[in-house]
């Protein structure tokens, strides 16, 4: 049982796995995108996010920690220059994984992992989808504005007795109309009989 053993082993020894992660992170920082397997791409996200966070930190301690992991000066320059500026307002989630399909030889799921906002990022200009309940408060405010604009000019008057004390049915009877026309048939027959 592998209880409490987090992370993927990727079929290699610990030292090989650590070297592979260092190489993947360095390549991503230099080229901003790379084609690899799904398992490796998911595994490289954690050290990549950590390195970019150190780049955003920008102090000497962060530089030394990043230099112990990243293998090239070009990647360090990009990390503490352009990438630190690009992600200064973003808290994590600096990479995007796009699935490409199975590899021809062994059927491994291949992906394209790229830094968010890179020049080749096809989704850089798209906005995040809204949550389902995000617009309800706004809709309520719009309804209140519309209700305030549509104010009734005159309140509806209830049918009541006239000033002379007559009911509306008596007024109709005096005007020549038949008061029995407004009553149901059963009640009109009882009054006649």
For residues 6-28, average pLDDT: 96
pLDDT at 74: 96
pLDDT at 123: 87
Q: What is the pTM of this model?
A: 0.66
pLDDT at 129: 74
Phi and psi at residue 45, to the nearest 5°: -60, -40
Domain ranges, ordered by start, for the chain: 14-115
How would you class 56 by CB atoms within 10 Å of its CB: exposed for 0-12, middle for 13-18, buried for 19 or more?
buried
Higher pLDDT, 193 or 67: 67
For tokens 């650590």, name the residue: 18
For 14-115, give the CATH class: alpha beta
pLDDT in tens, 118-154: 988 888 888 777 777 665 555 667 767 767 777 666 6
The continuous run of DSSP H or E covering 115 comes out as strand 109-115
Phi and psi at residue 166, to the nearest 5°: -95, 145
Helices (H), 32-104: 38-57, 60-69, 73-78, 84-86
Q: How far apart are CA 7 and CA 159, in angstroms?
A: 78
Question: Which strands make up the sheet holding 33-37, listed edge to edge?
Answer: 33-37, 109-115, 95-102
């Amino acid at each position: 049982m592998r209880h409490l053993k987090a992370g993927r082993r990727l079929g290699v020894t610990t030292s090989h796995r650590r070297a592979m992660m260092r190489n993947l992170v360095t390549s991503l920082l230099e080229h901003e995108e790379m084609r690899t397997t799904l398992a490796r791409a998911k595994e490289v996200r954690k050290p990549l996010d950590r390195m970019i966070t150190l780049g955003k930190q920008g102090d000497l301690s962060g530089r030394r920690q990043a230099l112990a992991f990243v293998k090239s000066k070009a990647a360090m320059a990009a990390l503490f220059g352009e990438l630190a500026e690009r992600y200064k307002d973003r808290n994590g989630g600096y990479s995007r994984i796009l699935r490409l399909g199975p590899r021809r030889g062994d059927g491994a799921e291949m992906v394209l992992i790229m830094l968010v906002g890179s020049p080749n990022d096809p989704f850089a200009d798209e906005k995040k989808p809204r949550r389902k309940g995000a617009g309800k408060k706004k809709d309520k405010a719009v309804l209140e504005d519309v209700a305030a604009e549509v104010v009734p000019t005159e309140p509806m008057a209830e049918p009541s007795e006239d000033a002379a004390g007559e009911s509306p049915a008596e007024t109709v009877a005096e005007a020549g109309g038949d008061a029995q026309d407004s009553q149901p048939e059963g009640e009109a027959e009882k009054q006649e009989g």
